[in-house]
Amino acid sequence: MPEVPSKQPSRITRIHPDRESRLPEYRSLAGSAHKRQNTRMLVMSLMGIVVGVAGGLVAEGLLRAINFISNVCFYGKATSANLPPNLAPFHWWMPLLPAAGGLFVGILIRYFAPEIKGDGIPEAMSVALNNRSIVKPRVSFFKPLSAAVTVGSGGPFGAEGPIIQTGAALGSMLSQLIPSSSAERRILLACGAAAGLAGVFKTPFAGVMLAVELLVFEFRARSFVPIALASATGTMVAMGFRGAQPVFPVITEFHFHALELPFFVVLGILAAALAWLMTRALYVCEDFFEHLKIWFPLVPAIGGLIVGLIAIFYPQVLGTGYSVIADLLSKPHPAHVLLGIGLAKLAAFATSLGSGASGGTFAPALMIGGSLGAAFGSLVHLILPNASTVGLYGMVATAALFGSLYRATPSAILFMLEVTGAYNAILPVFLVAVVADLAVHFFMRTTINTERLVRRGHLVPEAYELDPMKMLRVRNIMSPDTDTVRADSTVAEFLPTAVQHESVPVVDAHEHVIGLLHRRDLLSAGPDATAASLAHPDFPVAYADEVVHDVAGRFLDKSHRQALVLDGKTGELVGMLTAFDILKAKNWELMQEMREPSRLSPMSLLRFGSRSAAPAAEASK
């Protein structure tokens, strides 16, 4: 890090001996703060494990509740076994079931808990960003209840969005039982979300990454370690109930074919376009339903009725569709069937969620991406009979659509590999997802989650960025030229010097700083007043090797406007730091983004090679 050259005063100026004796305290305080941080991280990690157990159990309970309600509605059986609703015998009243579920959830939203409306992930993001990660306790009850009724009655959603919000609520509630900061509450909120997602899909790594990318917006040990432990714990709870096998096992037997690369690139672009279509369809439906001037519970009931009508032709849209997704990725199907299932699920998803129902967007994205990706793979096989399996195309399209929808490509890649167990397909999954991530920036500025937050007027971080205040020390931004005023001098003598500065150190005959003189003090001072009589003996001090971030915190806490800068070892006065100087740290970030002229050219490289070859030839003689 290049340092600002420090010009020392003509005479060595030190702080007064009474305050100089406190210099060693500065070092010990820094060491104590580091120990406290490590201890706190250990406490957060232990709490993360507790949240992981709770999140895993809630995820398992929600899945069983969905299965129970679904089996009662579609099969007339009081069991929590996984019986796909699309395989149930058809009855004339079955299209009315999603409408009944929508009506029930609409009543919950209207009269009990407005927070449970929608997917759940945008609501968790909103709490983390704007409400100091404080979730209302009622969310932890009404959100899983609404999701169980909506999805169990045939709503075209998954359990992951509600369980993420529910797990986040559990983490937030636990953090509110103890003294905690907003950052710590956000970490425990993310622990609950990660544990919930991992508890549904048995994806520990993806659970961590998704919580980091969508909720905590940082990648640091203090957040990564507790979230990782929570996600791993939630996964172990899920494996204890449902075994360790992947949720959507896929046998890809992928072999690299260079001729497939153009098709993978095209698939990535199409996946980005599909992400845009899903997002636009959702919010078009949401805008339509919001303009209906009727009793609110009827709105999700109408959305559910439309889903029931679609299910007459494509029953695969009903419920979570996890068994349908597994079937699409593991077995071949005619292209027109795949295309029909994908478009029907898209229509059912946009209509139902846009009407205000409660459910997750992961499962619809998996089915839409899997079916349409497999349809694309069927077309590729007409051109390249030796191409990869159709299931692999469905798998990579799902990962690309997932990453494009949430702008969380690393999470999407890891999720798809973990949920299918097809780790040998990492190359096409990685390639298509990255191409989709690049293309989606040209299609839309927001994601399916952040669009709702932006509409509410919230600001959402777009990326992880370095804090420039943590990259600079005080000596990099301070003003090294520091004038001083003798204590026995009068206003008439030092006025020309003092008015040029906001504050000036006052020194005694031994060049010890005894106080700080502010320019505003001169307004009411007489010409014969001495600097000693006007100086403020209590003045803030910073040290040259302190991190700017730490000093900025003190400036805010104590409303400082400036501080003397001392050498941390010798106690010598080396400069002055103002609030404006702290803003200079932002200039470091701007400098990183400025384009510089090219420094090399092909000719310069040739000249470099010829010059370096000559000495080598002479040395060999």
pLDDT value at residue 164 = 84
Determine the Cα–Cα distance for residues 159 and 152; give it in Å rounded to an integer. Answer: 10
CB 287 within 8 A of CB 458: no
pLDDT value at residue 403 = 93
Q: Centre a 10 Å sphere on the Cβ of residue 547 and count the other Cβ atoms it contains.
A: 16
pLDDT value at residue 11 = 47
DSSP designation for 578: E
Determine the Cα–Cα distance for residues 18 and 514; give it in Å rounded to an integer. Answer: 10
Q: Is the pLDDT of residue 5 over 60?
A: no
Mean pLDDT of all residues in 145-153 = 92
Residue-wise pLDDT tens digits, 519-572: 888 877 888 888 888 888 888 888 888 888 888 888 888 888 888 888 877 777
For residues 621 and 343, the model is more confident at 343
Determine the Cα–Cα distance for residues 98 and 108; give it in Å rounded to an integer. Answer: 15
Closest CA to 191 of 218, 225, 237: 225
Beta-sheet strand order (sheet of 503-507):
14-15, 512-518, 503-507, 485-486
Mean pLDDT of all residues in 127-147 = 83
pLDDT value at residue 17 = 56
Say if strands 485-486 and 503-507 run parallel, antiparallel, or are unpaired.
Answer: parallel
Determine the Cα–Cα distance for residues 23 and 541; give it in Å rounded to an integer. Answer: 11
Q: Flag whether the pTM goes above 0.85.
A: no
Determine the Cα–Cα distance for residues 408 and 436; give it in Å rounded to an integer. Answer: 11
How many residues can be counted in the chain?
Answer: 621
> What top-level class would CATH report for the domain 468-593?
alpha beta
Mean pLDDT of all residues in 582-594 = 74
Mean pLDDT of all residues in 325-342 = 90
pLDDT interval class at 10 (50, 70, 90):
very low
The residue type found at 500 is: Q
pLDDT interval class at 414 (50, 70, 90):
very high
DSSP designation for 158: B
- The mean predicted confidence, pLDDT, of the chain is 84
pLDDT interval class at 219 (50, 70, 90):
confident
CB 362 within 8 A of CB 419: no
Q: What SS3 class is residue 218?
A: coil
Residue ranges covered by each domain of the chain: 40-242, 258-455, 468-593
Q: Is there a common fold for 40-242 and 258-455?
A: yes
pLDDT value at residue 88 = 92
Task: Return the structure tokens found at 49.
Answer: 């494990």
Closest CA to 50 of 239, 180, 242, 237: 237
Residue-wise pLDDT tens digits, 183-218: 888 888 889 989 999 999 999 999 999 998 888 878
Determine the Cα–Cα distance for residues 377 and 601; give it in Å rounded to an integer. Answer: 44
pLDDT value at residue 449 = 83
DSSP designation for 358: B
Determine the Cα–Cα distance for residues 492 and 479; give it in Å rounded to an integer. Answer: 26
Q: Is the pLDDT of residue 140 over 90?
A: no
| Residue indicated by tokens 């005063």 | 9
Residue-wise pLDDT tens digits, 451-501: 888 887 777 766 666 677 887 888 888 888 778 888 888 888 888 877 777
Mean pLDDT of all residues in 247-261 = 82
Determine the Cα–Cα distance for residues 248 and 65; give it in Å rounded to an integer. Answer: 21
pLDDT value at residue 6 = 34
Q: Which residues contact 206 (CB under 8 A, 6 or more apart)?
A: 197, 198, 411, 414, 415, 418, 419
Q: Centre a 10 Å sphere on the Cβ of residue 528 and count the other Cβ atoms it contains.
A: 9
pLDDT value at residue 167 = 84
Task: Return the structure tokens found at 451.
Answer: 């669009």
pLDDT value at residue 506 = 86
Closest CA to 191 of 159, 167, 162: 167
b/e string for 6-29 if b means 16 or more Cβ within 10 A? eeebeeebbbbeebeeebeeeeee
> Homologous superfamily of 40-242 in CATH?
Clc chloride channel (1.10.3080.10)
> What top-level class would CATH report for the domain 258-455?
mainly alpha
Residue-wise pLDDT tens digits, 71-113: 999 999 999 888 999 999 988 999 999 999 999 999 999 999 8
Residue-wise pLDDT tens digits, 291-332: 998 999 999 999 999 999 999 999 999 998 888 988 888 888
DSSP designation for 131: S
CA 275, 280, 282 angle in degrees (round to 5)?
A: 100
Residue-wise pLDDT tens digits, 596-607: 676 666 666 566
Taking every pair of Cα atoms in the chain, the longest distance, rounded to a whole number of angstroms, is 102
